[in-house]
Amino acid sequence: MSQGKPSGFTKQAARNIFYGGSVFFALLFAAIVFDSEHKIPERSNAQNITESVVRGKKIWETRNCIGCHTLLGEGAYFAPELGNVYKRRGGEFIKAWIKGQPTGAPGRRQMPQFDLNDQQLNDLVDFLKWTGEINTEKWPPNIEG
């Protein structure tokens, strides 16, 4: 081994790698954000938002449905995922299920009775139908949520 010759990286080389890597990954992150922002409008299903969907979302929020259910993966995991419930069960089943709560079945968790009128039920079903039509890239991973 020759004397005076440093082994490994110099401080300058380490600094250049750090700054170069930081710039590279910052640019990569910006590119990913830019790509995602451009895909959101075509995936969001925003063109199908109606007054009924907006009212249904308000019912969803004021009854704290997300306190028990998940919707597109967000919320509590106490009750079933509802992002695709319209595809799984259909609107009439959803309305009948909500009207029939609580079921009183022994050993089963009970959903409260919200006493929704027919218009509110229709609005909530329209909201759930709309969320089921969002392009979620196959989320949830199976039809049963």
DSSP 54-112: HHHHHHHHHTTGGGT-EETTEE-SSS-B-TTHHHHH-HHHHHHHHHT-----TTS--PP
Q: For residue 141, what pLDDT is reported?
A: 81
71: phi then psi, degrees, rounded to nearest 5: -135, 110
Q: What is the DSSP letter of 137?
A: S
From first to last of the 145 residues of the chain, give the pLDDT tens digit.
456 565 677 999 999 999 999 999 999 999 999 999 999 888 889 999 999 999 999 999 999 999 999 999 899 988 999 999 999 999 999 999 999 999 888 888 889 999 999 999 999 999 999 999 999 888 778 777 6
User: What is the predicted pLDDT for the residue at 5?
Assistant: 61
Bridge pairing between strands 74-75 and 70-71: antiparallel
- Written as six digits, the tokens of 45 are 């299903």
DSSP annotation of 10 reads -
User: Looking at residue 143, what is its pLDDT?
Assistant: 77
